[in-house]
Homo-oligomer: A and B are copies of this chain.
Amino acid sequence: MSDQATPPPAVTPPPDEHQRVEALAEETARRESSFTRMMNSSVGRNLGLVIALVVLIIIGVATAGDRFASVDNMLTILRFASVIGVVSIGMTFVIIGGGIDLSVGAIVALASVWATTLATQTMAEDTHWLVMVLAALAVGTGCGVVNGTLIAYGRMAPFIATLAMLAAARGLAEIISERKTQIVDVREFVEFFGGDFLGIPRLVWIFALVSAIGWVLLNRTTFGRRTISVGGNPVAARLAGINVKRHTLFLYMLVGFACGIAAIMIIARTTTGSSTHGLLYELDAIAAVVIGGTLLTGGRGTIVGTVFGVLIFATLTNVFTLNNLDTSSQAVAKGVIIVLAVLLQQRVAARNGST
């Protein structure tokens, strides 16, 4: 700085070299644009998963032929995928938001039991099925509020807070149901949710709907974008004036709500509410989400990836059963396949420079 010497020469607007770099970047982009576009589209980013799923389907057809390829079987797979799928969509948001929820399975159980005891005991026959629906959703969201409050405002580690909820919710479910399976005698309910629409089970429709809404929510709304910032860089989010605590609370309410929906679906599927519903959903859901390419550290993830993750696991189970594989071999195969799928996904992603 020194002397009050010569002012800097009027530098003519220097063509910044960034122009070069980025221009170069742009150019490269343009050259392979169509390809790149595709690659950066959700499908592209999940190409590895697509491949994995396709391979699975081929195996299915090869080993089980029409028994696999039949429409009925496809619907079976989808119906099976739909319940855990809805939970996984909710889980995706929590994980992108930098958290995790181990209590989803327990919440599903509690919600299912609460809703069905309403039907079977409190009001007996004359329960309108809407009451059950509302009960399930309310219970699920309620549990989410508790989780969210403990984590956002009580500053508890999500893992431990939701682990506590896991224990508490299942216990409560057992107490309420007196450990008896609650059979639903509200036929309208079962018929409505168990039934088909345009030849496709309503459960599958619900899953599709939830996924679509989830996708829009994550990619097209301020809530979704804020979720990414809260998970990716909470400090920046706060500096940007986002109420991180409240947003976190919302995230756990969201997954709780999803569990409520899942509870309704499972009641419809099994015609029962039970404290044993949703066992180990937490692991299945998280696995689907992570296989789908969402980072457990938060800040990155896709709904499409999660849907693929769910479908892969569902198809896997189905193929195993069709081939009459015993549980143990299934477990081993499952482990190996998870590894292969993820490695494949990584290699492909790396090749496309995405991730």
Q: How far is the CA of A157 from the CA of B339 in the complex (A)?
A: 10
Chain B CB within 10 A, most for which of A5, A150, A155, A287: A287
B5 near A160 with CB under 8 A, answer no
B175 near A338 with CB under 8 A, answer no
A339 near B161 with CB under 8 A, answer yes
List the B side residues contacting A155 at CB < 8 Å.
346
List the B side residues contacting A172 at CB < 8 Å.
328, 331-332
Q: Which residue of B lies closest to A339 (CB)?
A: B164
A157 near B335 with CB under 8 A, answer no
Query: How far apart are A341's CB and chain B's nearest CB, in angstroms?
Result: 9
Q: Does A45 contact B (CB under 8 A)?
A: no
Copies of this protein in the assembly total 2
| A163-B343 contact in complex given A1-B1, A175-B328, C-beta closer than 8 Å | no
Q: Does A226 contact B (CB under 8 A)?
A: no
A175 near B332 with CB under 8 A, answer yes
Q: How far is the CA of A333 from the CA of B168 in the complex (A)?
A: 7
Q: Does A334 contact B (CB under 8 A)?
A: yes
Q: Does A186 contact B (CB under 8 A)?
A: no
B171 near A330 with CB under 8 A, answer yes
Q: Does A291 contact B (CB under 8 A)?
A: yes
B154 near A343 with CB under 8 A, answer yes
Q: How far is the CA of A332 from the CA of B172 in the complex (A)?
A: 6
A283 near B163 with CB under 8 A, answer yes
Q: Does A16 contact B (CB under 8 A)?
A: no
20 additional A-B residue pairs with CB within 8 Å, beyond A3-B3, A159-B290, A168-B336: A1-B2, A150-B339, A154-B346, A156-B339, A156-B343, A156-B346, A157-B296, A159-B296, A160-B287, A161-B339, A163-B287, A164-B335, A164-B338, A164-B339, A167-B331, A169-B335, A171-B327, A171-B331, A172-B331, A175-B328
Q: Which residues of A contact B (CB under 8 A)?
A: 1-3, 5, 102, 150, 154-157, 159-161, 163-172, 174-175, 179, 283, 286-287, 290-291, 295-297, 327-336, 338-339, 342-343, 346
Q: List 11 A-B contacts (CB under 8 A).
A: A1-B2, A2-B5, A155-B346, A156-B346, A157-B295, A159-B290, A160-B290, A164-B338, A172-B332, A175-B328, A175-B329
